[in-house]
Chain A
Amino acid sequence: MNFKNVFLGIFASALLLASCTNDDTTENKMPLGAYDKGVIVLNEGNFGTPNGSVSFISNDYAVINNIFGIENSNKPLGDVVQSLSFSEDKAFIVVNNSNTVEVVNRYTFKSIATITDQIKNPRYSVVLNGKLYVTNAKTKSVNVYDAKTYNFLEVIAVNKVVEKIITANGKLYITNGAYGSGTSVTVINPQINNAMSSITVENGVNAIEEKSGSVYVLSGNAEKSKLYKINTTNDTATAIESTVLKNAKNMDIDGEKIYYTVGNNAYVMALNATSFSEAPLFSIPDGGYFTFYAFNVIDGKIYSANVNGFTAAGTVKIFSSTGAELKSVTVGMGPNGFYSNN
C-alpha cells in the first residue's frame, strides 16, 4: 500500500502474462516423486516480499501449497516467481525480482542449485542441447548457461525487449514484447554461431507456442488480434486475424486445439482454423487487468487463476474443455502460470 505510486511503474513491470509451457507427455508407470502426475502452479508473490511459492495440484485435485519451502527447509524462493521450464528431470524456476534461477528436481522439488551469475531481471527460460537460455530483461539479452553444471557460458545480445523463449527445429524463438506492445519475434540459431533474424508481427505480441514443428504467435491490441503460424524451416509466417476480438492473449495449445482469452471470455478453435472463433467457450467475472492472470490448458482441462488483488492467497478454477467448472482450489500469493508435470 505504502509507496504504491512511486513503485507503480516497477510493480506494473512485474505483471505479465503467464507462460504456456506444454511438455510432451511422458508415460511414467511409477511416480518419480511427490509432485509427479499433476500440475505445478507458480505463485509469483508480492513485489519486494520474498513470498513467491510453488503449489502442486494432483490430477485428482489434491492441493499441496508451498512445495519448494516444504522440500527445502523453508528456504525462501524469492519474489516475482515468473516462469518455469523443464529439462529431463529438472525444473528451472525463474525468479524475476530476486535475480535468480532456482534449479530443482521436477518430481521432488529438492533444490539442486541457484543460478545468479550475470542475472538481472530474468523473465523466461528454455533448455536446448544441454544449454539453458534465460531472457534477461535488464540487459536485453539471452544469457546462456550449462544445463548440467549451471556455469555461465555467454551472453547473446538482442538489444530489444526479450520476453518469452521457446525452441523449435533446433532454434530459439523469443518474443520482443511486454505490457501489450512489441512487434517482433527474434530467431536465434545456436547451430550456426547464434545467427539472429527477426520476424515482424502485429503490435502486442504476448504468447508463443510450439506445436508439431511450427511456432504459433499471438498478438493483440486495441484494434485487432492476430495469430501467426511460423514455418520453422524458412521462418516465414502466415496469419489469421480478428477485428472483433481485441487484445486477445493467453494463447495455449492443447492437443489439436488453440485456446485464448479476450477480457473475461475464454475461446477455443481448431489448430488449423482459418479464422478466429468469436463465440466464447465460457466467461468468468471481470477482474480488470487481473482477469485470467494465469490461463493454461493441460490434457483437456482449463486452469485459470484469480490473484485476488495480490492482497490474499490466489484462487484456481479448473474447467472442462467445454467450459464446465470442475473444481476451485486455493493456492499461494499471485498465481501466474500452470505447468504439466505428467
Chain B
Amino acid sequence: MATKKFRLLSIILLSQFLLAQNKTAIPLNEVVVSDTQLKNFSSSQSVLKLNDSIISKNQSSLTSLLNYNSVIYFKENGLGMVSSPSFRGTTAQQTSVVWNGININSQLLGQTDFNTVSTRGYNSIDVKAGGGSVVYGSGAIGGTIHLNNDLKFSNTFKNNLEVYYGDFNTLSTIYAVTAATNKWSTNASFTRNSSDNDYKFIGKQGKNSNGEFYNTNFSTAIGYKLDAKNTIKLYSESYDGERHFSITSPNATKTKYQDFNTRNLLAWTSIFGKSVSNMKLAYITEHYKYFDDIEEEDFTSGEVKSFIAKYDFVYAFSSKINLNTLFDYNKSNAFGSGVGNNSRQVGGISVLMKQYITEKWNYELSARKEISDVYKSPLLFSAGTTIDFSSLYQFKFNISRNFRVPTFNDLYWETGGNLDLKPENSYQLELGNNFRYKDFNVSATFYASKITDMIRWLPTNTGNWSPFNTDNVSIYGFETLGSWKKNFNSHNFGINATYSYTVSLDDKNNNQLFYVPYHKATAAGSYSYKRFNSYYQFMFVGAVFTTSDNDPKNILSDYTISNLGMDYNFSKKNVFKIGFKVANLWNEIYESLPSRLMPGRNLTLYLTLNY
C-alpha cells in the first residue's frame, strides 16, 4: 500500500516537474489526439466512435459500455467479474485494448479483462473492427478498442463531478479537472467504483455471493507546446482494484483477485516542414495477486514491466501522399508464480502509406516486420481502399494479415510452457459500404477471416498442460451500424444501432465455436428537450452453444435487456444534472455463462456537476 501511494505521488510530482519546464507560448488552437494512426490510416476499416456523452450513460466498466453500444459479445462470470470479449467470432485474446496508441493487453494472459478498465476517465473510446496488427501488434485480430485522452489547447478551466449510486450499494464517483491555455493543456481524473454486488437472483433462490469489488483509477494527461513545432505530452494512469470472485455453489471456497496496473507515456511531437516526427516512450506495468482462499494470507502473483520506445515519422510527399514509418522496441520483464523470471525483446518496423488518387478515392498500404528473441514473426500487412461514389455512398475494401504472439504463460509456464510456439496467424478480408442520406448514416460490412495455429492448452501425457498451435478457425459475418439524428425546435432525437451476424467455425468439425452467438443487436435511442434528456438502451444476444459439440441441450438462451434513463439539468449556464437509470427494465433472467446469473431490474441515481 505504501509503495502504491508512493507511485501515485511520483506521478503527480513528475507531472508538476514537467509543467515547471514551461517555456514560450505559441498560439495554436487545436485538439491533439494521442493515436495518429487511428486517425490517419484507418479509413478503409470500420471505426465506431463513442464520445463522452455515450460513456456517461453506461456503467463504468468497459464491458458495459461496449456490450450496449457495439457488436462485441461478452462472457461475464457475473456482473463485474472476469469478462472476456469475442469480437467478430474470435477469442478473448484476439481483441486488443489500445491506450493512447499503446497495446495494453496483459502480457501474461494475452487478453484484457474488460471489467478492469474504468471508462469514465477517457474523452472517447473507439471501436475499430478487424485486423490492426501492423500498427497495434499482437492480438489485433478481431478488432481493437482505443482508449483516448485527447488534449485541447484553448483557454479552459472546468471541473466535473459525477456521482452514481444504485442498488447493491454500487457507488461510482468521478472527479475530473480540465485546465488549458493555448500553450498547455491538462486533464486529470480520479474515479472510484465500488459495489457490494450482492444482487438477488431472479427466477431462483439465492443471491450473488462473494461478488463485491472496488477499483480506483487515477489518470492524467498533460500537453505542453514548447514552440510552434514541438509539443510534449505526458499520459499517466494507475488502476488499483480488488474483486472477490462470486461463487457458484453456496459452500465453495471464496477467492479474490487484485489488479494493480500503471501506464505512463511520454510523447514528443515535432513538425518540420512536410514531416511530423513523434517520439514515444512508455512504461507499462501489470500486477495481479490471486487469493485462492480469502480466509488465508497466501496468494499467487505475477508482474510484468514493459518498456516501449516508438519512433513515428510521417512525411507528406504532397498533399495527396503520406508516408509513415514506425520503429518500435519493446522489452518486457515478467516474474511471478508459475512463470519464473523471464524477459523478452521485440523490435519492429512498420511502413504505412496513403495516397489520394482523386479527392474521392484513396488507398492505404502498410506492412510490418517484427524481430523477437523468442518467437518467429510473419510479415504482416494491410491494404485497403476507400471510394466515395457519391455523397450518398462510400465503398471500402481492406485485406490484412494479423497475428497474436504467445504470452509469457504460454512460453514459460513452469509446468508445460512451450518455447516452440508460433504466433497465431490470421488473414482477413472486408467489404464496407457506407450510406448517408440526410440524417441517416448506415454502414454494412461483410468480412471473412481465417485464423490458423490458434494456441490452446491441452493436457499432455506427463499430467501437465501445455499450449500447442492446434486449432484452425474459419469466420465470416456481417455487421451493420446505423445512426439517425434529428433536431427541431429544441427537440433532439437520436438513434444508434448495431447488428452482427457471426459464423465462426472450428475447422476440425465445422461446429460453431462455443460462446459465439450468431446474432447480436444493440440500439440506443435518445430524446432531449431543452434541459431534459432521456435515453433507452436495448441489447439482444442470441443463443450460444456452451459445448464444442454444439449439442442443442447445452445452450444458453438468447436474452433481450433494456435500460432506461432520464435526467434534468437544473443549471442554465453550466451543468447541474440529476437523473436516474433503470437497468434491466423488464427484469429479464439472463446469463452469459452457465450458472452466472446477472442482476434483475436495478436502479441508479446520478448527479453531474460541471463548472
Interface residues of A (CB under 8 A from B): 1-6, 8-12, 15, 48-51, 76, 78-79, 95, 97-100, 116, 119-121, 138, 179-180, 247, 263, 286, 288-291, 308-309, 311-313, 333
Contacts and interface: CB of A to CB of B under 8 A. Distances in A.
The 5 closest A-B pairs by CB, nearest first: A289-B459, A98-B249, A312-B549, A5-B409, A311-B548
A342 B313 CA distance: 78
Contacts of A76: 249, 595
B376 to A, nearest CB: 22
B548 A309 contact: yes
A1 B91 contact: yes
Contacts of A51: 594-595
A49 B593 contact: yes
Contacts of B75: 2
Contacts of B551: 312-313
Contacts of A1: 84, 91-92, 515
Contacts of B251: 98-100, 116, 119
Contact of A308 (B288, B300, B514, B549): B549
Interface in B278-331: 288, 290, 292-293, 300
A313 B460 contact: no
A15 B84 contact: no
Contact of A12 (B84, B111, B464, B554): B464
A4 B106 CA distance: 13
A67 to B, nearest CB: 16
B108 A5 contact: yes
A231 B460 CA distance: 36
A288 B461 contact: yes
Contacts of A247: 461
Given A2-B82, A2-B92, A289-B460, 10 more contacts: A1-B515, A5-B108, A6-B290, A12-B464, A49-B248, A50-B595, A79-B248, A95-B249, A290-B459, A312-B551
Given A49-B593, A308-B549, A311-B514, A120 B111 contact: no
Contact of A10 (B111, B292, B407, B458): B292
A114 to B, nearest CB: 8
B245 to A, nearest CB: 9
Nearest to A291: B461
Given A5-B109, A309-B548, A50 B409 contact: no
Given A50-B595, A179-B463, A5 B252 contact: no
Contact of A49 (B108, B464, B595): B595
11 contacts: A2-B111, A6-B109, A8-B409, A51-B594, A97-B252, A99-B252, A138-B293, A179-B463, A289-B460, A309-B458, A311-B547
B252 A313 contact: no
Contacts of B460: 288-289
A329 to B, nearest CB: 15
Nearest to B337: A9
B463 A4 contact: no
Given A8-B338, A49-B248, A98-B251, A289 B548 contact: no
B459 A3 contact: no
A308 to B, nearest CB: 7
A305 B149 CA distance: 54
Interface in B69-109: 75, 82, 84, 91-92, 108-109
Nearest to A117: B251
A99 B249 CA distance: 9
Given A49-B595, A289-B463, A308-B549, A9 B300 contact: yes
B415 to A, nearest CB: 8
Contacts of A263: 461
Contacts of B514: 311
A298 B248 CA distance: 34
Given A1-B84, A313-B549, A8 B92 contact: no
